[in-house]
């Protein structure tokens, strides 16, 4: 029986197996035997993919139907805000202690100690040049009198755990805003980056 080419699209919609069979007949009537075998293999792989997709879709739908909350749980994946570490965790305490140590060294102008205890990425300048720049900052800001943490969060940068902490700080000569990035991958917190902004620095 000769098939009508106009029925092939409808056959595909109504019955995938029948439609695919009709389509193969239409497209392979002038093929050689080897070409027909190859077409059958391609069609078989396509059917396997379709069956797998349908089976997976049914399984996912049944899981959602059984556990509707899974949709809300997975929405957290789209949240781009950085996660906040537990304040009383060891990592959190180490980062807070590292800030306190930095403020103590800053107030006493012990910048060479800051340089020696920092992460390698922070020591991109020569030690003497780093100390010279920090002394200029210290001369305009003065000692740290008080500080208040305003935010902190953890991130992974180049496979290493880091904590970013921001402080509002009262220096002897002006107020400032500090941002610390601590490398927490080792046994102790290492200063990875430090930035401070203050009106006094623009004078």
Residue pLDDT, tens place only, 16-55: 555 556 655 656 566 677 777 777 777 777 777 777 677 7
Q: Is the pLDDT assigned to residue 89 strictly greater than 60?
A: yes
- Cα separation of 165 and 151, whole Å? 6
Of 50, 77, 104, which residue is a domain's last? 77
Q: Which one-letter DSSP state was computed for residue 83?
A: P
Quote the mean pLDDT of the chain: 76
Residues 69 and 116 in one domain: no
- Asked, for residue 53, whether it belongs to a domain, the answer is yes
Of 77, 98, 115, which residue is a domain's last? 77
Residues 73 and 106 in one domain: no
Residues 61 and 117 in one domain: no
Long-range contacts of 134-138, Cβ-Cβ distance < 8 Å, separation of 24 or more = 134/106, 134/109, 135/109, 135/111, 137/196, 137/201, 138/106, 138/109, 138/111
pLDDT value at residue 4: 52
Instruction: Give percent of the chain above pLDDT 70.
Output: 67
Residues 110 and 187 in one domain: yes
Residues 68 and 146 in one domain: no
pTM: 0.56
pLDDT value at residue 159: 77
From 40-54, 97-111, 125-139, 158-172, the region with the lowest mean pLDDT: 40-54
Please indicate whether residue 1 or residue 178 has the higher confidence score (pLDDT): 178
- Asked, for residue 84, whether it belongs to a domain, the answer is no
- Cα separation of 145 and 203, whole Å? 21
Residues 59 and 144 in one domain: no
Residues 136 and 198 in one domain: yes
- Asked, for residue 82, whether it belongs to a domain, the answer is no
Number of domains present in the structure of the chain = 2
DSSP letters, 47-74, are HHHHHHHHHHHHHHHHHHHH-THHHHHH
Of 26, 48, 77, which residue is a domain's last? 77
Q: Which domain holds residue 23?
A: 5-77
Over residues 170-191, the mean pLDDT reads 92
Residues 52 and 125 in one domain: no
- Cα separation of 110 and 95, whole Å? 19
Residues 193 and 96 in one domain: yes
């Amino acid at each position: 029986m000769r098939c009508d080419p106009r029925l092939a699209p409808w056959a595909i919609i109504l019955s995938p197996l029948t439609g695919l069979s009709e389509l193969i007949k239409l497209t392979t009537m002038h093929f050689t035997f080897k070409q027909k075998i190859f077409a059958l293999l391609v069609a078989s792989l396509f059917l396997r993919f379709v069956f797998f997709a349908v089976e997976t879709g049914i399984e996912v739908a049944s899981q959602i139907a059984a556990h509707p909350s899974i949709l809300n749980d997975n929405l957290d994946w789209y949240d781009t805000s950085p996660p906040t570490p537990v304040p009383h965790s060891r990592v959190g305490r180490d980062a807070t202690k590292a800030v306190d140590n930095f403020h103590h060294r800053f107030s006493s102008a012990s910048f060479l100690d800051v340089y020696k205890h920092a992460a390698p990425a922070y020591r991109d300048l020569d030690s003497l040049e780093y100390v010279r720049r920090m002394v200029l900052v210290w001369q305009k800001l003065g000692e740290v009198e008080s500080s208040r943490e305003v935010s902190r969060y953890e991130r992974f940068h180049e496979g290493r755990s880091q904590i970013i902490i921001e402080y509002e700080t009262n220096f002897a000569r002006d107020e400032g805003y500090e941002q610390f990035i601590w490398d927490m991958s080792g046994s102790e917190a290492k200063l990875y980056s430090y930035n401070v902004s203050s009106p006094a620095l623009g004078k």
